[in-house]
Amino acid sequence: MPAFYRENGVNLGLTAYRHATEDLVESVRESLSRVDLNQVEKMVGEMLASTDRRILVLGAGRSGLIGRAFAMRLMHLGFRVYVIGETITPSVGKGDLIVALSGSGSTKLVVTAAEIGKTVGARIIAITSYPDSDLAKLADHVVTIKGRTKVADETDYFLRQLMGEHEPMAPLGTVFEISLMTFLDGIVVELMRRLGLTESELRKRHATIE
């Protein structure tokens, strides 16, 4: 083992990794514990009301990747689901449901697409950290998932700990994104239960060519 991993005989290897993973798990637990269950119930209700309509998932960057994973699970559940921005996605129409994902609630691509959807009569569920954001103001329903709420002036993790600034050791929107992924997987399980579906039924819709 390289000498710089040891100090006074103590193994210091992967210190940042160990602290980061511990912080992330705790931060995600805290974030999801603060989600309003009434907001969750209304979102589930909106989605169940859309079983015979189209659901379009909207997100950019890493949130967009998480949205794609969510859309795949909705397909497994039997929903007519598309990801906005893909070449095979149809035009948004009246009565369609848009699930828009943006931690900041101000991502221009997401807000603009939601504005267009609103214009043609689609319903919008916004999932964001900021309930007063531009995206949230457009939405028919908002689910608030808190991410990292502040960025400390001190960038050194260990100095932050000594100073009592116990901010999660996670860059940019990581806490929101991991919380979002976990939240949406929870939504999938709730939908699965209410629709009376089994895992074997979902597996029948899973891609056979990958």
Question: Catalytic positions, please?
Answer: 177
Task: Give Rg (Cα) of the chain.
Answer: 20
The b-or-e profile of 11-36 (16+ CB within 10 A means b, else e) is eeeeeeeeebeebbeebbeebbeebe
Residue 59 φ then ψ, to 5°: -170, 160
The conformational region for residue 105 under phi > 0 = left, psi -120 to 50 = alpha, else beta, is left
- The two tokens of residue 50 are 């859309």
